[in-house]
Chains A and B, each alone.
Chain A
Amino acid sequence: MDRTPRTLPRYSATFSPEAQSEIRRAAATGIYDIRGGGAKRRVPHFDDLLFLGASISRYPLEGYREKCATNVTLGTRFAKKPVELEIPITIAGMSFGSLSGPAKEALGRGATMAGTSTTTGDGGMTEEERGHSEKLVYQYLPSRYGMNPRDLRRADAIEVVVGQGAKPGGGGMLLGQKITERVAGMRNLPEGIDQRSACRHPDWTGPDDLEIKILELREITGWEKPIYIKVGGARPYYDTALAAKAGADVIVLDGMQGGTAATQDVFIEHVGLPTLACIRPAVQALQDLGLHREVQLVVSGGIRTGADVAKALALGADAVSIGTAALIALGDNDPKWEAEYQQLGTTAGAYDDWHEGRDPAGITTQDPDLMARLDPIEAGRRLRNYLSVLTLEAQTIARACGKSHVHNLEPEDLCALTMEAAAMAKVPLAGTDWWPGKPGF
């Protein structure tokens, strides 16, 4: 036997096993990889920030005894009926079609029990969603699938979707296997065909047009509804400024970790900004216009914990929005379905082929047998519990920083663990009073 010492087999960092598998898949199929979810690559995130907490110079509040409020009102700028929420965490827009009816119902139930809003998606408003959502935001998307003035008037707010963090500048496609008779009917299209969603609105281009579009929506709804503008994280300073100039009541800013029902993996991983990099420029834009807190900022993309919520608020957001985390709370990627994930060639926690409609958890599917696995009442309770935990965690941190409202958190409460996070969040590197780009250094 040859006992000559040998080096261990060494994988290339560049041509990693993952990269090689994608090359083989591309060579075999000739088509890019489609998947759901948001960016999976590591990017600077809220984990790279820490709160400082109280000390001699800061006075904490007593946990469980001294009040730390969490309410937020969205749409105070022009709308006659702003949306009042008990917690600063909303449910992001996700379509019926991409999600099953029971999943949409569960989102509405959970959000309502937690005192917050949920949001429609591409494909229109369903009865189960409206019926179970005390506060429902109606998305106004480029496809205008299912769009009608009656649903606009029975919404609590209108969200004009310009882009989303997973694919700023991209449209979408719902594959035929999820286009049941009901989904097709709501979208005025034949059953079973692949349905494309446009990347641009059909009847306006640019911020000057958007201002007129907002005027029209307000006229149709009697100036009652808050108008949100949702943008993907691309040029957050200018996008925020232009949306505010166009007359938005609320700006929803979605970073690249924000999920999508389906798009090209290369798009998800290589276009857009991390959520952390979006917040300060957006807040700066509102401050420069004298509109910070008058136009509310909702941040989404990768929110998982109450710490994430607190950090987003400390950087200047008024609220956050969750999508992927809400689906996980409902039961998405639950290890109890591991055997079926394995049959699909994946594993619990990594399943992202939401567009194929074969979700073992019964959430991203229109298959009646799979859909029946999700009990909307039980799933709604899980979402309520999760939202409660996020809120309690954010309150815990806020009290430790001496804040009687989570909105009183501020950048001064934070430090950064990395240079990148310090530069993006514009808070000092831990143990210093410096961040890259800080004026005067």
Chain B
Amino acid sequence: MQTLDLATMPLREVNAQLQGQAPDTNQTHWVIENPRGGHAIAAGLTTPIEVTVKGSTGYYCAGMNEGATVHVEGSAGPGVAENMMSGTVVIDGDASQYAGATGHGGLLVVKGNASSRCGISMKGIDIVVHGNVGHMSAFMAQSGALVVLGDAGDALGDSLYEAKLFVRGAVKSLGADCEEKEMRPEHIALLTDLLARAGADAKPEEFRRYGSARKLYHFNVDHAGDY
């Protein structure tokens, strides 16, 4: 296990070490000490290494991750795992705004709550939030799944495309063109898999599914008030 200490090393050096690992590196487990809310920690990783961050992070932790597993033993600031392509990011605490924004793949797990716009414009990423999510979550979400074990705030799934939303608790309100949908066997199977991978203790049958009503897919002046 390799240790990188942000109290003594500049961010550039820490990230360069992690980004420089070859795909077949035998240095597969790294620890980052003293993150102290720093930004862009473990951003741009490209190999399947494991990185444990010993504390809370600022903006864009694990941004654009490709293949790495990043575990934050604390909370994460805005845009954690934004535009992730693949890999896994786990946040032990809470996540601020835009968690998993525009992510194309991989799994983001937030064990606490996630703030507003969780999963905004997500493009294939799967996100599991053990707690609640804030308003406008999954705004313009294109594909992937957002699973919320707690409650969802206002305007869930506003202007939704093909992403699948699963909420166990209450939904304060649905956004434009988002509606509740039938939970079919394939959705139960998907949810079962995601809950297991996210270490979440919940039964798929307790969730309700939301998706796009697809009424805004083609601009129609009669729907102008819905936008």
Contacts and interface: CB of A to CB of B under 8 A. Distances in A.
Contact of A194 (B19, B120, B217): B217
Given A198-B121, A216-B59, A219-B40, A203 B15 contact: no
Interface in A182-230: 187-190, 193-194, 196, 198, 202-204, 209, 212-213, 215-216, 219-223
Given A148-B83, A202-B98, A203-B78, A215 B123 contact: no
Interface residues of B, number: 42
A149 interface: yes
Contacts of A79: none
B94 interface: no
Interface string B87-115: 00000000001100110100000000000
Contacts, number: 101
Nearest to B142: A188
A220 B43 contact: yes
State the majority secondary structure of interface residues on B. Answer: loop
B16 interface: yes
B143 A176 contact: no
B12 interface: yes
Nearest to A188: B123
Interface in B26-79: 39-40, 43-44, 46, 58-60, 63-64, 66, 78-79
Contacts of B19: 222
Contact of A219 (B15, B79, B85, B217): B15
Contact of B46 (A149, A173, A175, A189): A149
B101 A203 contact: yes
Nearest to A193: B217
B82 interface: yes
Contact of A222 (B16, B104, B221): B16
A193 B218 contact: yes
A31 B85 CA distance: 39
A143 interface: yes
B138 to A, nearest CB: 11
A213 B98 CA distance: 13
B140 interface: yes
A328 interface: no
Given A176-B218, A204-B79, A212 B123 contact: no
Interface in A163-184: 173, 175-176
Contacts of A150: 66
B83 A144 contact: yes
A202 B124 contact: no
Contacts of B39: 212, 215-216
Contacts of B218: 176, 193-194
B132 interface: no
A147 interface: yes
A30 B39 CA distance: 48
A193 B160 CA distance: 13
A143 B121 contact: yes
A188 B103 CA distance: 11
B11 interface: yes
B11 to A, nearest CB: 7
Contacts of B135: none
A361 to B, nearest CB: 25
Contacts of A149: 44, 46, 64, 66, 83, 85
Nearest to A32: B221
B59 A212 contact: yes
Contacts of B130: none
A212 B66 contact: no
A216 B44 CA distance: 8
B98 A190 contact: no
Contacts of B78: 203-204, 209
A192 to B, nearest CB: 9
Given A144-B83, A212-B59, 4 more contacts: A149-B64, A149-B83, A190-B162, A203-B78
17 contacts: A30-B221, A148-B83, A148-B104, A149-B64, A152-B64, A188-B123, A188-B142, A189-B142, A189-B161, A194-B217, A194-B219, A203-B79, A203-B101, A213-B60, A216-B43, A216-B60, A220-B40
Q: Report, nearest first, the 6 A-B pairs whose CB atoms are least far apart.
A: A220-B44, A203-B79, A203-B98, A144-B102, A193-B217, A188-B123
